[in-house]
């Protein structure tokens, strides 16, 4: 195949199992505060002390600095979002609402650094993973920087009033999510290609599917949860994606590497150009305004959230009833 070696029926079935498990765990963790604490505090503490020092050591495919940083940054995002969701005083503080875009930017920047780092390597096996460096790493690193630049509308983040108390970011619409998915898949394919079948496709689908069909507007929350679950699992069972009967190897084809990185760069350049055009023609401030409030996609998000009240006069920050940010 173009992207991967032969995908067996067993690995295809496991792909579905992994996808369903990640979506299911996300649903459990977002619907229960107790489950969230157990899954994002108790379980990681136990794994940190008793499991990861033995399974994610030097020489392991998950023993690099990146995997350790990634698992704890994902968990930090989960806990920070829980604080915003369950502590009204925090949700009402606009400065606290900077946390979601900041932690997201840091998460993307970690991968950008890794892409540039791999670009300077020699081809071969590094930490148990086959690396094929090339211009695709640089291209995708640039795409990741653009993905950070186009994060916008954080001033409109609020907490839903239903029982799940989800963290909703209405301005984070489908085109940015698709550009992120293409960038992130290209990153995984470039830097840990033999993990990309699960850590790329399955993991990205596990947060994108809920964002489009289960709880719109909560993509970042879905992403943090599913990423944390996946990183905890692969740190504990690194052989799953490399030496198990379910493993699917990358083709390591330069043509495939170039293709996914070109798609990533083109998508993120398109979102960047669209956003610059919107900011200039409508005289918006991307640091203070929501940019997409007049789009039908924005309207579908806010209409799907119980308890949200918004009047949309056009582009810019929507006019809401005078209630604290985070509790609308």
Average pLDDT over residues 199-224: 97
Look at the block and give the residue holding tokens 């150009």. Answer: 273
Residue 60, pLDDT > 50, answer yes
Cβ-Cβ contacts under 8 Å for 39 (sequence gap 6 or more): 25, 28, 29, 229
In whole angstroms, what is the distance from residue 158 CA to residue 154 CA?
9
> Residue 146: helix, strand or coil by DSSP?
helix
Task: Match 């009047």 to its residue by tokens.
Answer: 311
Q: Report the predicted TM-score, pTM, of the whole model to 2 decimal places.
A: 0.91
> In terms of Cα–Cα distance, which of 79, 72, 70, 74 is closest to 112?
70
**pLDDT tens digit string along 114-157?**
999 999 999 998 877 899 999 999 999 999 999 999 999 999 99
Residues in the chain: 328
pLDDT for 43 beyond 80: yes
Q: For residue 126, list its beta bridge partners.
A: 129
Distance CA 121, CA 303 (A): 49
Closest CA to 197 of 146, 241, 260, 156: 241
- What confidence category does residue 308 fall into, taking pLDDT thresholds of 50, 70 and 90? low
- Enter the DSSP assignment of 195: G
Cα distances (angstroms) measured from residue 275 to each of 98, 136, 161, 187, 282 = 20, 24, 30, 23, 10
The stretch 273-297 carries a mean pLDDT of 95
Residue 64 · residue 231 · CB < 8 Å: no
Q: Distance between CA 102 and CA 113 in Å, rounded?
A: 16
- Can you give the pLDDT at residue 321? 33
d(CA 220, CA 152): 13
Residue 41 has pLDDT above 90, yes or no: yes
Contact indicator for 228, 81 with CB cutoff of 8 Å: no
**pLDDT value for 317:** 42
- Look at residue 316 in the predicted model and tell me its pLDDT: 42
- Give, as one character, the DSSP assignment of residue 232: H
How confident is the model over 43-72, as a mean pLDDT?
A: 85
Does the pLDDT value for residue 307 go beyond 70?
A: no
Residue 310 has pLDDT above 80, yes or no: no
Residue whose token pair is 């979002």: 81
Q: Is the pLDDT of residue 264 over 80?
A: yes
Classified as helix, coil or strand, 109 is helix
**How would residue 327 be classed by pLDDT, with cut points 50, 70 and 90?**
very low
What average pLDDT does range 188-195 have in this prediction?
95
Q: Provide mean pLDDT across the span 197-206.
A: 97
Residue 197: what pLDDT?
97
Please give the structure tokens belonging to residue 217.
């507007």
Confidence of residue 326 (pLDDT cuts 50, 70, 90): very low
Q: What pLDDT does residue 242 have? A: 84
Q: Region 30-36: what's the mean pLDDT?
A: 96
The candidate with the shortest Cα–Cα distance to 221, out of 60, 68, 36, is 36
Span of 23-27, 255-259, 272-276, 313-317 with lowest mean pLDDT: 313-317
């Amino acid at each position: 195949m173009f992207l991967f070696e032969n995908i067996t029926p067993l690995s295809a079935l496991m792909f579905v199992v992994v996808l369903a498990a990640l979506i299911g765990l996300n649903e459990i963790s977002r619907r229960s505060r107790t489950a969230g604490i157990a899954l994002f505090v108790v379980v990681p503490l136990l794994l940190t002390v008793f499991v990861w020092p033995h399974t994610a050591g030097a020489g392991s495919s998950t023993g690099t600095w990146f995997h350790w940083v990634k698992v704890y940054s994902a968990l930090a995002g989960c806990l920070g979002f829980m604080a915003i969701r369950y502590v009204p005083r925090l949700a009402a503080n606009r400065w606290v609402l900077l946390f979601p875009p900041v932690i997201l930017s840091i998460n993307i920047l970690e991968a950008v650094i890794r892409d540039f780092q791999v670009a300077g390597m020699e081809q071969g096996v590094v930490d148990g993973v086959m690396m094929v460096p090339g211009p695709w790493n640089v291209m995708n690193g640039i795409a990741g920087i653009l993905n950070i630049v186009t994060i916008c509308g954080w001033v409109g983040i609020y907490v839903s009033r239903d029982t799940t108390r989800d963290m909703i970011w209405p301005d984070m619409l489908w085109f940015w999510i698709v550009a992120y998915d293409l960038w992130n898949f290209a990153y995984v394919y470039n830097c840990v290609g033999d993990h990309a079948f699960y850590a790329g496709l399955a993991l990205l689908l596990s947060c994108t599917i809920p964002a489009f069909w289960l709880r719109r507007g909560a993509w970042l929350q879905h992403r943090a949860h599913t990423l944390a679950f996946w990183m905890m699992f692969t740190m504990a069972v690194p052989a799953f994606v490399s030496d198990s009967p379910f493993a699917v190897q990358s083709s390591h084809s330069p043509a495939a590497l170039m293709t996914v990185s070109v798609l990533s760069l083109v998508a993120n350049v398109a979102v960047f150009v669209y956003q610059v055009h919107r900011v200039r023609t409508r005289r918006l401030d991307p640091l203070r305004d929501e940019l997409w409030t007049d789009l039908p996609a924005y309207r579908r998000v806010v209409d799907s959230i119980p308890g949200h009240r918004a009047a949309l006069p056009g582009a810019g920050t929507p006019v809401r009833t005078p209630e604290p940010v985070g509790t609308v």
